[in-house]
Chains A and B, each alone.
Chain A
Amino acid sequence: MDQLENEIHPKILQALLDSRNDFTLEDALENEMILNMGPQHPATHGVLRLLLRLDGEKIIACVPELGYLHRGYEKMAENMSYYEYIPHTDRLDYISPMANNVAWVLAVEKLAGIEAPKRAQYIRMMIAELARISSHLLAIGALAMDVGALTIFLWTLREREKVLDIWDILCGARFTNSYTRIGGVANDAQPEALSKAKWFIEQFEPNLAEIEQLINSNRIFIERVEGVGVISKEDAINLAFTGPNLRACGVEFDLRRNSPYLYYNEIDFRIPTYTEGDCLARYFLRLDECRESAKIVKQVLEKMPQGEVQANMPKKVIPQKDEVYTKMEELIHDFMIVNFGINPPVGEIYNAIEGSKGELGFYLVSKGEGKPWKCKIRSPSFNNLQALPKLVVGHMISDVVAIIGSIDPIMGEADK
């Protein structure tokens, strides 16, 4: 007991123990024991620390500990202008940075009353869906890898590389993109990027089917995930599950349909749902969503209009650099926006998009200054992780790995 208290903070220990204290570290077979999983563990998808209370190999209680990747992004947002914060959103959910960029600029545009041109909105829609595909591919691959099917991970990452290549052409960065701007996107989508996206979508469908064939008939994989980590519809809503995890429980809730943003109301797509609510359902749902996203990208590429990619609002939107260097007015606006910010009117808004993990929202409070007075990031991973103790209790240690993989938490986002 004394030894444990040196290693684990007493308050955390108390949460784990409820009221009992009859355990030892030494004799695992006869008594209960405490297992410290993470923060440095390959299957916890980052720096998630789980304290597991075990009876033999069965889990009796679980306490997640967060904060190992807490960088204080909400505090930082209060001390920098709305433009300066765009690169920081890349570091939230670092698996799909483009979706975070889109979420941030949409929130700021709503606060400041800016409307981006239609072409820019279509480009945003394309990159948000590509981000979803890349994120789900990693989630599928990591889940399969966690339960032992290593090949899938290599195959899905091969597909993911192609998405990163498209981003490379679009904005010159594969990982931390910072592609969107308030009032538009940084630059128009190049024809090469669009044709590459088209090529990617065409070859993606058969490749995904191939990936699926590898494991869908694999008995070991199915038995590891089927019926594991079941959560009911009511519990999922009560625990504020969103995104694929909620839809795998049979709730048809998708912000793209419930409160359409961008131009999702012009696109025809289906919202897949499953009713089982176990790891297998979450895995199948991500596969289905990849297909739907591919369908959306295909339609977006067909419907994409021509035109400007930045709104013509000189006092709010940073002008292009070539204009800044040649025109007096643009130079003044550039100077004012960079030094004093865009000063949205006094007010508060909450704007959320359907990120790849769930509802990704920003709550912004403006006092009419260049910096937000308050910025709250509603991160889906944080809320999805909250259900973890409920999901793992009663299962084996080896199932914990599968359950974490199927929830798909990203600690950069959960810890902010």
Chain B
Amino acid sequence: MNHIEFIPRKLKEKFPSVDFEASDYKGELTIKFDKKFIVDVCRFLQSDSELEFKLCPDITAIDWAVRKNRFTVVYNIFSLKNNFRLRLKCDVDESDCSINSVVSVWQSANWQERETFDMYGINFKNHPDLRRMYMPEEFEYHPLRKDFPLMGIPDSMPLPKK
């Protein structure tokens, strides 16, 4: 069974109204769709008996530094049953910088989404505990955004209280 053709076809059958954009680069399948459907699609991929993407090793985002659809949230999921890795992508615009959280599908998304929120400032809606992962809570910026300078911003962090 060829998963690179099979998975996009199966998704299209299940969600006829969603526009799936599948691409294959160096044997890695990427599926891009609207961010509204992220939880439904993820739940289907996780629970379908033929697919069973039970493992979610990584969630991250890309800052394209453009005005429209500035960010892309990237989900890297793995099916132990089929031994297949799939990448899901959803564009997020800066004016509505949020996407629904998939913690209800994979518990491991909890910290991964927190890290993405910390680094890019993307708001994960319905996340149970959306705090910063690495930076202190007082920090106002999101370091992995392209407009954050490499050397950091002087005086952006208060010194520890005595």
Residues on A close to B: CB < 8 A?
6, 9, 11-12, 15, 66-67, 70, 72, 74-76, 78-79, 110, 235, 237-240, 242, 251, 253, 258-259, 347-350, 352, 359, 361, 363, 365, 373-374, 376, 378, 382-383, 386, 415-416
Contacting A at CB under 8 A, from B43-66, are 54-58, 60, 62-63
Instruction: Look across to chain A and name the residue whose beta carbon is closest to the beta carbon of B128.
Output: A15
B62-82, CB under 8 A of A: which get 1 and which 0? 110000000000101000100
Q: Is the CB–CB distance between B80 and A237 below 8 Å?
A: yes
Given A239-B107, A349-B26: A363 and B137 interface contact (C-beta under 8 Å): no
- Min CB distance A128 to B, Å, is 19
Q: Kindly state the separation between the CA atoms of A415 and B87 in the bound complex, as whole angstroms.
A: 24
The answer for the CA separation of A75 and B146 in the assembled complex, in Å, is 9
- B107 — which chain A residues lie within 8 A by C-beta? 235, 238-239, 386
Known: A79-B150, A363-B76. A74 touches B161 (CB 8 A): no
Contacts of A365 in B (CB 8 A): 62
A interface secondary structure, majority? mixed
Query: How far does the Cβ of A228 sit from chain B's closest Cβ, in whole Å?
Result: 21
B60 touching A376, Cβ below 8 Å: yes
Are B80 and A110 touching (Cβ within 8 A)?
no
- Shortest C-beta distance, B16 to chain A (Å), equals 28
Question: Do B55 and A237 have beta carbons less than 8 Å apart?
Answer: yes
Q: Nearest B residue to A72 by beta-carbon distance?
A: B143
Which residues of A lie under 8 Å from residue B34 when comparing CB positions?
none
Give bound CA distance, A45 to B25, whole Å: 39
Interchain CB contact under 8 A, A75 and B144: yes
A238 contacts which chain B residues (CB < 8 A)? 54, 106-108
- Residues of chain B with a CB closer than 8 A to A110's CB: 26
Say if the beta carbon of B135 comes within 8 Å of chain A: yes
The residues of A that contact B56 with a CB separation of less than 8 Å are 240
Instruction: With both chains docked as a complex, state the minimum distance between the C-beta of A275 and any C-beta of chain B, in angstroms.
Output: 16
With a CB–CB cut-off of 8 A, which chain A residues contact B60?
A: 363, 374, 376
B17 at the interface (CB under 8 A from A): no
- Taken together as a complex, chains A and B put the C-alpha atoms of A361 and B85 apart, in Å, by 12
8 A-B residue pairs with Cβ-Cβ distance under 8 Å, sorted by A, are A11-B131, A240-B106, A347-B25, A349-B26, A361-B58, A363-B74, A382-B111, A383-B112
Within B140-157, the residues touching A (CB, 8 Å) are 143-144, 148, 150
Distance in angstroms between the alpha carbons of A62 and B57 in the assembled complex: 23
The answer to whether B55 and A350 touch across the interface, beta carbons within 8 angstroms, is no
Tell me whether A66 and B134 are in contact in the complex, defined as CB-CB below 8 angstroms, given that A253-B80, A374-B62 are known contacts: yes
A106 to B30, CA, bound (A): 20
Top-8 shortest CB links A-B? A240-B108, A67-B134, A70-B134, A376-B60, A378-B58, A386-B111, A238-B107, A374-B62
With contacts A240-B55, A363-B58, A376-B60 taken as known, whether A350 is within 8 angstroms of B87 at the C-beta atoms is yes
Q: Which residues of B lie under 8 Å from residue A253 when comparing CB positions?
A: 55, 80
Indicate if the CB atoms of A74 and B57 lie closer than 8 Å: no
Complex: A66 Cα to B150 Cα, angstroms = 21
* A405 → B minimal CB distance (Å): 21
Identify B26's interface contact among A74, A347, A363, A416, CB under 8 A.
A347
CA distance A78 to B143 in the complex (A): 12
Given A74-B144, A361-B58, the answer on whether A67 and B135 have CB atoms closer than 8 Å is yes
Measured in the bound complex, the distance between the Cα atoms of B106 and A383 in whole Å is 12
Bound Cα distance A70, B131 (Å)? 16
Q: Are A9 and B137 in contact (CB under 8 A)?
A: yes
**Given contact pairs A12-B131, A237-B55, A253-B55, a sample of 16 additional A-B residue pairs in the complex whose CB atoms are under 8 Å apart:** A9-B137, A66-B134, A67-B134, A79-B150, A240-B55, A240-B57, A240-B106, A259-B83, A349-B25, A350-B85, A363-B60, A376-B58, A376-B60, A376-B74, A386-B108, A416-B134
B130 to A: closest C-beta gap in Å: 10
CB–CB A378/B76 < 8 A: yes
User: A238-B106, A240-B55, A258-B83 given as contacts; is B137 within 8 A of A350 (CB)?
Assistant: no
Given the interface contacts A240-B57, A374-B62, A378-B57, does A251 sit within 8 Å of B111 by beta carbon? Answer: no
User: Chain A contacts of B25 at CB under 8 A?
Assistant: 347-349
Which residue on chain A has the smallest CB distance to residue B129?
A15
- List B contacts of A382 (CB < 8 A): 111, 115
Closest to B30 in A: A348
A160 nearest CB across to chain B (Å): 28
Q: A379 CB to closest chain B CB, in angstroms?
A: 9
A15 to B87, CA, bound (A): 31
Is B133 close to A, CB under 8 A? yes
Q: List B95-145 residues whose CB lies under 8 Å from chain A.
A: 106-108, 110-112, 115, 119, 129, 131-137, 143-144
